[in-house]
Amino acid sequence: MQCSWKAVLLLALASIAIQYTAIRTFTAKSFHSCPIPSPVNCSLSQDTDAADRLCDESPTFSYNLSRKTHVLILATTRSGSSFVGQLFNQHFDVFYFKALCSPPVCESLGAIDLHLEEGDCVKKCGTLNLTLATESCREHGHVAIKTVRVPEVSDLRALVEDPRLNLKVIQLVRDPRGILASRSETFRDTYRLWRIWDGTGRKPYNLDVTQLTTVCEDFWNSVSTGLNRPPWLKGKYMLVRYEDLARNPMKKTEEIYDFLGIPMDSNVERWIQNNTRGDRSSSKHKYGTVRNSAATAEKWR
């Protein structure tokens, strides 16, 4: 049975809302400070009990005194963002939002779910346990999230300038031709006309070229802003080419962690060694990250 247009629209809006909500957590109540009585202006008439109750009842209302680093991976679909996300997910002290689909938040996954597609996370894990998710997040010193819904880094200015955050942006870019080739294989119906053009050499008259030109324009505008180093973005922006990361994953990952000021641990190094030398069969999983990274980056040529 085919979905109605209303159902499709609802699913699309729900997807956007989920990512928007995740981004909003960077500026949500968890960074407000509890009203702590001043030892200088303390008086018997001051309602210290109310302040204590607020902190007790809302333990997440604490200022970012630990200077927890918040990392936002700015990417587009099929640009290598799943691979970059795993570089954070493997770090023992980084809570990566994709970790909502991994233990201890989700205990339903096993070895056979190594290549679990992101869209199947909800089906496999069921309803999100907010208590476990919150506890898992608090146990980590840093937080990372990726988004493919934000076109340009300038759209993140309010977050970057927020004094309550220590937010750093990693923009991931890839050759648009590689993105197109990957999307054509992953979303075959949506990019059917592109595959016809590639196979026949004849451009379909109704081909929507904005599927590619929009990516190019967003890259150009966003990277131009980042490399111009405006005051609000100084020290907060790093540009990463997927091709460079794929050719030399260990070196580029070390550079990423140096930029963030977070020590790179052995779990990340071990994951890179085990997941960038895959054989041909491993690359068949469209959302998987086990593959020959250098060959994958140039596969479209």
Q: Which pLDDT tens digit goes with each residue over 240-279? A: 999 999 999 999 999 999 999 999 999 999 999 998 875 5
For every residue of 120-172, DSSP letters joined together read: GHHHHH-S--HHHHHHHHHTSSEEEEEESS---GGGGHHHHH-TT--EEEEEE
Domain edges within the chain: 67-93+142-301, 95-140
Name the residue among 159, 286, 300, 162 with its Cα closest to residue 243. Answer: 300
For 169: left if phi > 0, alpha if psi spans -120 to 50, otherwise beta; the answer is beta
pLDDT category of residue 7 using cuts at 50, 70 and 90: very low
Q: What is the mean pLDDT of residues 129-153?
A: 86
Q: What is the CATH number of domain 67-93+142-301?
A: 3.40.50.300
Residue 94: Cβ-neighbour burial (10 angstroms; 0-12, 13-18, 19+):
buried
Q: What is the mean pLDDT of residues 135-158?
A: 90
| Amino acid letter, residue 114 | L
pTM passes above 0.85? no
pLDDT category of residue 301 using cuts at 50, 70 and 90: low
Q: Taking the CB of residue 6, how many other CB atoms lie within 10 A of it?
A: 8
Give the whole-angstrom CA distance, residue 239 versus residue 225: 11
